[in-house]
C-alpha cells in the first residue's frame, strides 16, 4: 500500500512540476510578446519627456502613440529592470522598438532629438529666398530679416568687424547690401538665442573662414572683394561643374577686358526680380539698370552680387581658366558649349533646338 501511495505522490509531484514549467513558459512567452516591438514600422514618432515625468507616468503616452503593447507589462518590465532616472527632452522612437530598447533610448541623454534650429541655404540663393527660409524655420519674419540687413547703422557695425565688407555695399542701385556675402551652408542655432544679428554674424563668420584662404589673392587682385563676389554670383547660376565654372569665368574676363557687355540672362532675372522659371520679355532684356548685363549700353560688372555663391564659384572668379572664348550656352542636361564668335554661338543654339536640348 505504501508503495502505491508513494508512486501516486511522485506522479502528482512530477505532473505539478511539469504544469509549473509549462505555466512559466506560457507566462514568459506572453511577457516576451507584450514587451516586444508593436510592429516593423520604423517611421519616427517624437515623445516629449517633461520635468516631473518618470518611466511609469509616461506609460499612457507611449501606449497612445502605439509604441508599447501593454501598459501593465511595460510597468512589470520596469519593476525588474529598474532603469536609471529619466532624461527630459524630445526623443524619436518607433513601433519597431521593443520595451527594453525604448527604455534604453529614454535613459540616454545622447539619444535626445536635436532641439537646435537648423537653417540650410543652398548655393545660389538670393537674400530674399534666404529670408523666406528664416521665416519658415523661426519666429523672424522675412521682412524683418531683410530690413535689418538694410539698416545702415547695423551694416556699419558689421563693416567694422569683417574685413571683406566695404563701402561698396552702400551703392544706391544695390537692392540688398549684403547680397553675395552670406555664405550658403547649414547653420545650427539654439532656439533661445536666435535673432537676426546672431544668424547674420554666424553666417558672416563662415564667409570669413571661407575667404581667409584667398585673402592675399583678393587683396592683390585688380578687382575688389565686392566685384569678385559679384562675378562669382553670376558664375554660380551659369554653370554647375567646377571645370565649367572656371571656363565661364574665363569667358566673362575676356568680355570685361575687351569692354564688352557680359550678356548674362541670370542678371536680367535678378534685375527684374523674377524667378528663373518665369519668362523674360524683350523689354526685360533691354531694360537698363545697375544689374542687367543684357542691356547693350552696359559694360563691366553689375553693381553687386545677384545671389550668394559657393566657394567653388568664388575660386573660379579668382582663378579662371584662360581661354579665347566669348560665348557659351548650356543645354537641358547642363552641358556647356563654348564658342569664339556669334556665328558659332548661333549655330550651337540652332543645333540644340533641333535636338530638343535648347534650354530657352
The alpha carbon of residue 105 and the mean position of all alpha carbons in its chain are separated, in whole angstroms, by 27
- Cell (9 digits) for 24: 512559466
Residues 140 and 253 in one domain: no
What is residue 92's predicted lDDT score, i.e. its pLDDT?
85
Q: HEC string of 174-229? A: CCCCCCCCCCCCEEEECHHHCCHHHHHHHHHHHHHHHHHCCHHHHHHCCCCHHHHH
State the Cα–Cα distance between residues 191 and 207, nearest whole angstrom: 22
What is residue 114's predicted lDDT score, i.e. its pLDDT?
61
Which residue do the cell numbers 516593423 mark? 40
What is residue 173's predicted lDDT score, i.e. its pLDDT?
96
Which residue do the cell numbers 570669413 mark? 208
Q: HEC string of 59-106? A: HHHHHHCCCCCCHHHHHHHHHHHCCCCCCCEEEEECCCCCHHHHHHHH
Per the domain annotation, does 5 fall within a domain?
A: no
- Cell (9 digits) for 278: 518665369
Cα-based distances in Å from 106 to 49, 130, 321: 8, 36, 55
What is residue 273's predicted lDDT score, i.e. its pLDDT?
93
Q: Out of 77-91, 203-217, 223-237, which region has the weakest mean confidence (pLDDT)? A: 77-91
- Of the candidates 293, 272, 305, 290, the one whose C-alpha atom is nearest the C-alpha of residue 124 is 305
What is residue 52's predicted lDDT score, i.e. its pLDDT?
81
Residues 88 and 156 in one domain: no
User: Domain limits at 303?
Assistant: 219-354
Per the domain annotation, does 99 fall within a domain?
A: yes
Instruction: Please spell the DSSP secondary structure of 291-357, one letter per residue.
Output: S-TTSTT--S--SS-SS---HHHHHHHHSPPP-S--EEEEBTT--EEEESSHHHHHHHHHHHHHTT-
> Average pLDDT for residues 9-13, to the nearest whole number?
71
Asked if residue 187 lies in contact with residue 118, where contact means CB atoms within 8 angstroms, the answer is yes
Q: What's the CATH code of the domain at 49?
A: 3.30.1490.480
Q: Out of 88-102, 209-223, 243-257, 291-305, which region has the weakest mean confidence (pLDDT)? A: 88-102
State the Cα–Cα distance between residues 197 and 76, nearest whole angstrom: 52
What is residue 179's predicted lDDT score, i.e. its pLDDT?
98
% the chain with pLDDT above 70: 95
pLDDT, tens digit (0-9, with 9 covering 90-100), for 109-141: 666 666 678 899 999 999 999 999 999 999 999
pLDDT, tens digit (0-9, with 9 covering 90-100), for 314-338: 999 999 999 999 999 998 888 899 9
Residue 34 has pLDDT above 80, yes or no: yes
pLDDT, tens digit (0-9, with 9 covering 90-100), for 161-190: 999 999 999 999 999 999 999 999 999 888
Is pTM beyond 0.75? Reply is no
Number of domains in the chain: 3
What is residue 197's predicted lDDT score, i.e. its pLDDT?
97
What is residue 182's predicted lDDT score, i.e. its pLDDT?
98
Roughly how many angstroms between the first and final C-alpha of the chain, as a whole number? 109
Domain boundary at 85, 111, 137, which?
111
6 pLDDT band, cuts 50/70/90, is: low
Tell me 111's DSSP state. Answer: G
Residues 78 and 129 in one domain: no
Per the domain annotation, does 91 fall within a domain?
A: yes
Residue 94 has pLDDT above 60, yes or no: yes
Per the domain annotation, does 360 fall within a domain?
A: no
Amino acid at each position: 500500500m505504501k508503495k502505491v501511495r508513494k508512486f501516486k505522490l511522485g506522479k502528482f509531484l512530477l505532473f505539478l512540476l511539469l504544469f509549473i514549467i509549462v505555466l512559466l513558459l506560457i507566462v514568459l512567452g506572453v511577457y516576451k510578446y507584450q514587451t516586444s516591438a508593436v510592429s516593423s514600422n520604423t517611421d519616427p514618432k517624437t515623445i516629449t519627456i517633461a520635468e516631473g515625468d518618470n518611466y511609469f507616468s509616461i506609460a499612457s503616452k507611449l501606449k497612445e502613440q502605439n509604441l508599447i503593447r501593454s501598459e501593465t507589462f511595460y510597468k512589470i518590465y520596469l519593476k525588474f529592470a529598474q532603469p536609471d532616472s529619466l532624461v527630459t527632452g524630445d526623443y524619436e522612437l518607433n513601433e519597431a522598438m521593443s520595451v527594453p530598447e525604448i527604455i534604453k533610448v529614454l535613459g540616454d541623454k545622447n539619444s535626445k532629438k536635436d532641439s537646435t534650429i537648423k537653417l540650410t541655404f543652398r548655393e545660389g540663393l538670393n537674400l530674399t529666398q534666404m529670408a523666406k527660409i528664416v521665416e519658415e524655420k523661426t519666429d523672424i519674419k522675412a521682412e524683418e530679416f531683410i530690413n535689418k540687413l538694410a539698416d545702415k547703422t547695423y551694416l556699419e557695425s558689421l563693416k567694422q568687424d569683417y574685413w571683406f565688407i566695404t563701402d561698396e555695399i552702400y551703392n544706391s542701385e544695390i537692392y540688398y547690401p549684403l547680397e553675395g556675402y552670406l555664405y550658403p551652408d547649414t547653420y545650427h542655432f539654439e532656439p533661445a538665442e536666435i535673432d537676426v544679428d546672431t544668424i547674420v554674424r554666424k553666417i558672416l563668420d563662415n564667409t570669413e573662414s571661407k575667404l581667409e584662404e584667398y585673402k592675399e589673392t583678393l587683396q592683390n587682385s585688380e578687382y575688389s572683394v565686392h566685384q569678385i563676389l559679384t562675378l562669382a554670383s553670376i558664375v554660380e547660376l551659369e554653370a554647375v561643374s567646377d571645370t565649367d565654372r572656371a571656363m565661364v569665368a574665363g569667358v566673362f574676363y575676356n568680355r570685361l577686358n575687351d569692354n564688352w557687355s557680359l550678356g548674362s540672362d541670370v542678371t536680367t532675372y535678378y534685375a527684374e526680380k523674377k524667378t528663373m522659371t518665369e519668362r523674360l520679355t524683350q523689354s526685360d532684356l533691354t531694360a537698363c539698370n545697375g544689374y542687367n548685363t543684357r542691356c547693350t549700353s552696359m559694360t563691366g560688372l553689375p553693381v553687386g552680387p545677384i545671389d550668394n555663391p559657393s566657394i567653388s564659384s568664388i575660386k573660379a572668379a579668382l582663378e579662371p581658366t584662360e581661354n579665347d572664348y566669348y560665348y557659351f550656352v548650356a543645354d537641358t542636361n547642363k552641358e556647356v558649349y563654348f564658342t569664339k564668335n556669334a556665328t558659332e554661338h548661333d549655330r550651337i543654339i540652332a543645333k540644340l533646338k533641333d535636338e530638343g536640348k535648347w534650354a530657352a
